[in-house]
A and B are shown apart, each in its own frame.
Chain A
Amino acid sequence: MLQIDRWKRILIIGICVLGLAYAMPNLFYKRVEAHNDAIASIEKTGVTTPEDEAARAGWPNWLPSGLVNLGLDLRGGAHLLAEVQVGDVYKSRMDALWPELRRALAEERGTIGAIRRVNAPEGTLKIEIGTPDQMARAVEIARGFSDPITTLSGAGQSSLAISGQGSTLTIQLSDAEKSATDDRTIQQSLEIIRRRVDEVGTREPTIMRQGSDRILIQVPGIGSAEELKALIGTTAKLTFNSVVGTGSDPDARVGVGQVVLPSVDQDGVYYTIEETPVVTGEELTDALPASDQNGLPSVDFRFNPSGARKFGAYTSANVGQPFAIVLDDEVISAPVIRQAITTGSGQISGSMDYEEANRLAVLLRAGALPAELTFLEERTIGPELGQDSVDAGKLASMVGFVAVIVLMVLSYGMFGVFASVALAVNMALIFGVLSIIGATLTLPGIAGIVLTIGMAVDANVLVFERIREELKTARGPARAIELGYERAMSAIVDANITTLIIAAILFVLGSGPVKGFAVTLSIGIVTSVFTALWVTRLITITWFERARPRKIEV
């Protein structure tokens, strides 16, 4: 009558043991973390230091070593939500198109007349042609630069939207190309941010896309959001441009395609430069911090072959002229070309200290961000505050746990003890599952666990109360226990599914800490139903088989 199949018993015990095994490393958090870090560092560097060796030996290899990740609010670190200014790319695409288009149009000067680039909103190219009735020909030439789009959504469209009206030829990216470009821009930005953060070597940073044009960056252990921004916030767009003139007026009148940029280290000095660069930082192969001939910090760089060729050709044609090294719209220096530089390497020096030189080298190596980032949200949490929260959470969970056990044992006697054992197993299972799926524990997540401690016994309470009721009418204790479990089932299922719905909504709509809460709450619901229905039942039945009581009291 009252029994559980052997395979079910084995399955239940197996799950509990697995849960305990995977939860256990969390009891030795520091040691296991050191063990995992040591393995990672040995793998990365290929060198085994004695410290690594010792740390690795601190935890046996054959035991599970997965840990619950601590969220930023528990570990301390920085959180940034960045918006990628995808529009920047439209502008640079148009600027890059202009020299080629000019050449092509100039070849047809006989038919379309003189051409001139006129001012236009960013991301749009406007060209005046001398002979307006030949506009059709100009449009045709421009179409030659437009490629068909190969993505699924944009199939059948071309990359440029070209129109001619009167004497003005207007060119911009088509909508399909814009959305394809946006996607690429975000992907590139993600990749570059990841590289920059990895160069600094912090543990388990989270870098992920959010929505259409946002990137979430969470780096544990970093001192402040400010520091993180200095690392990833700069576009680090390095270009070499030809200098048109020097002056002290930031609003100097310039020709189309030229800009006025300030000097980094000389106040009040402004350079007018050609906006289209000779060579860009994308053609760098390497950048290293170094010292210049005066022993001041500098950065050495080397071009790839095509960059070296372009730079060589330009310098040999412009000996005696200045050229500008521009980083993020500021002129770092504008040396005069003394001789053709054909070796493909060079040096940037200016007012920087060694740390800045090092950071610049990192930024140049990782590559330039394709577009600027603006920061919508930034949070810094100090490690001490995180540790305080962990300690407080631990203490509160333990006190809550003990209090619930006392209440359960006082109310249900022996059955209360069974429920308490199930509750302990439940805790272990929650941490086991969190470790296995590599979920992140946040402060609200701890609250979720404490809430689960309180609510997990609910299913048991439902069953026990039901057994009490059935004892009044049913024939014998075995039947009462069986009916108790059976009849409490529908209430347990309905009650927990509704809570699970809430947790799912929180997970989908919540962010960061709230998501962490949703995760622990849902895991807690599933494990508590399992422990309440199966673990306590197994314990109860095993006890019942041994003791064979004629009467039971719940």
Chain B
Amino acid sequence: MAFRLKLVPSETRIDFFRWQFLTFGLSSVLMVGSIICLLVFGLNFGIDFRGGTTIRTESTQAVDVGAYRDALQTLDLGDVAITQVFDPNFDADQHVAQVRISAQDGAESVTPATINAVEAALQQVDPDITFPSVESVGPKVSGELIQTAIYAVLASLVAISIYIWLRFEWQFAIGAIVSLAHDVLITMGVFALFQIKFDLTTIAALLTIVGYSINDTVVVFDRLRENLMKYKKKPLRELMNLSVNETLSRTVMTSGTTLVALIALLVLGGDVIRGFVFAITFGILIGTYSSVYVAKNFVLWLGVKRDWSKKDPKQDASPFSGAEAP
């Protein structure tokens, strides 16, 4: 027998409902915690969403955040945030910082004069300084971007629930949506808690999480549907446990390969996309958890029709017809 790496033993009989009050409690606590974090700390919006300018500075001399701040204070720019950026890819004499200036009052579009003034002030502090990237977004566009982002997240949730409803049953769709909302909310909560920059690419990351999480959930649902047809009389709860156990090895393996690839990107991919990759990595962890512990629990509570034989087309015609409590 050749060696095989087994992340999960080949046969498992874990009762995933045994701890359901604990997991349900944990999920609830995390979700409520996320909402509190979002309300208390708020999200650290990037310029995509609140307008303003970010300037990336690079120098061979060490970054002196205090000196930078003093230099910019005199310009009277309102809210200025300066953060030093660290990355394992940087050379020893590569010192990078990020300066963010909020949108100037009353300015519909970007003012190049402000940017020039900031650059000049920083050059006074450090003559070697260069500006590898300068990005400005006017308040008009940032307002629209927020709107688009919200539409994108809602549209994807709706589109997915419709697809699941068509392919499975409405109970599955609700289970899927609840678990997706769970993943998105908790990821946003983490962004609020650690004040990680939240911008357009973060939205892309959130949608990717939605895509991945639904992928996982669908695999479990698919197996559940198969088992529903196979075992007509088994209690739903047992069937669910069976389905999750049967697919567990795949769930863990896929999460494993995806995480391995993402961790490589997280460590080596550079600081520019670190926030983006972090969101996806975190989301995949939480998404794997939710497809095992959240989605199917909702389906169990909602109940699902048991007669999946295709003999009676009338019963299949309406997705609501066969619903019954187990």
Contact = CB atoms under 8 A, between A and B. Distances in A.
A244 interface: no
Interface stretch (B34-42, B199-207, B297-305, B317-325): B199-207
B92 interface: no
Given A374-B109, A461-B250, A392 B270 contact: yes
Contact of B160 (A384, A451, A458, A498): A498
Q: Give the size category of B's interface with A.
A: 35 or more
Given A377-B137, A510-B200, A447 B277 contact: yes
A385 B132 contact: yes
B60 interface: no
Interface stretch (B2-10, B22-30, B181-189): B2-10
Nearest to B167: A494
A410 interface: yes
B204 A506 contact: yes
B151 A497 contact: no
A481 interface: no
A59 interface: no
A381 B110 contact: no
Interface in A457-494: 457-458, 461-462, 465, 468-469, 487, 490-491, 494
A450 B210 contact: no
Contacts of A314: none
B15 to A, nearest CB: 20
A553 B1 contact: yes
A400 B109 CA distance: 41
A81 B141 contact: yes
Contacts of B100: none
A403 B131 contact: no
A505 B208 contact: no
A315 B203 CA distance: 62
B249 A400 contact: no
A501 interface: yes
Interface string B212-249: 10111011011100100000000000000000001101
A83 to B, nearest CB: 8
A244 B78 CA distance: 45
A408 B207 CA distance: 27
A9 B51 CA distance: 54
A235 B287 CA distance: 52
A389 B112 contact: no
A274 to B, nearest CB: 31
A514 B273 contact: no
Contacts of B67: none
Contact of B272 (A401, A443, A495, A505): A443
B156 A505 contact: yes
B138 interface: yes
A47 interface: no
A412 interface: yes
B201 A376 contact: no
A511 B142 CA distance: 12
B256 A506 contact: no
Give the dominant DSSP class at A's interface. Answer: helix
Contacts of A496: 215
Nearest to A384: B132
A502 B131 contact: no
B134 interface: yes
Q: Which of A378, A518, A553 has the most CB of B within 10 A?
A: A378
A229 interface: yes
A491 B222 contact: yes
Contacts of B137: 376-377
Contacts of A377: 110, 136-138, 141
A378 B135 contact: yes
A454 B208 contact: no
A188 interface: no
A498 B261 contact: no
B302 to A, nearest CB: 20
A494 B218 contact: yes
Contacts of B75: none
A399 B203 CA distance: 26
Interface in A494-524: 494-499, 501-503, 505-506, 509-511, 513-514, 517-518, 521
B219 A455 contact: no
Contact of B211 (A83, A499, A511): A499
A498 B200 contact: no
B74 interface: no
A173 interface: no
A68 B133 CA distance: 23
Interface string B131-154: 111111110110000001101100
B132 A382 contact: yes
Interface in A409-424: 410-413
Contact of B2 (A391, A413, A495): A413
Contact of B200 (A382, A497, A511): A511
A399 B135 CA distance: 31
Interface in B160-179: 160, 163-164, 167
B82 interface: no
Nearest to A504: B159
A389 B96 CA distance: 14
A224 interface: yes
Given A399-B264, A408-B257, A505-B156, A499 B212 contact: yes
A477 to B, nearest CB: 15
A493 to B, nearest CB: 9
Contacts of A453: 257, 261
Contacts of B222: 490-491, 494-495
Given A379-B135, A381-B132, A465-B250, A505 B155 contact: yes
B117 interface: no
B33 interface: no
Interface string B260-299: 1110110111101100110010000000000000000000
A279 B10 CA distance: 86
Contact of A404 (B156, B210, B261, B273): B261
A465 B200 contact: no
A73 interface: yes
B50 to A, nearest CB: 13
Contacts of B135: 378-380
Given A396-B268, A514-B200, A514-B201, A379 B253 contact: no
Given A382-B131, A495-B215, A498-B163, A462 B204 contact: no
B79 interface: no
27 contacts: A83-B140, A224-B134, A381-B132, A382-B130, A382-B131, A392-B89, A393-B269, A396-B264, A411-B4, A411-B5, A413-B2, A447-B276, A450-B262, A453-B257, A454-B257, A455-B215, A461-B253, A491-B219, A494-B219, A498-B211, A501-B211, A502-B211, A509-B149, A510-B152, A517-B204, A518-B204, A521-B208
The 9 tightest CB contacts between A and B, nearest first, are: A454-B258, A454-B261, A400-B261, A392-B270, A382-B132, A410-B5, A502-B211, A400-B264, A385-B132
Given A502-B160, A509-B152, 19 more contacts: A73-B272, A81-B141, A83-B140, A378-B134, A380-B134, A382-B133, A407-B256, A412-B4, A413-B4, A444-B204, A446-B269, A451-B261, A451-B262, A454-B260, A495-B214, A495-B216, A495-B218, A509-B151, A509-B155
Interface of A: 73, 81, 83, 224-226, 229, 374-382, 384-385, 388-389, 391-393, 395-397, 399-401, 403-404, 407-408, 410-413, 443-444, 446-447, 450-451, 453-455, 457-458, 461-462, 465, 468-469, 487, 490-491, 494-499, 501-503, 505-506, 509-511, 513-514, 517-518, 521, 553
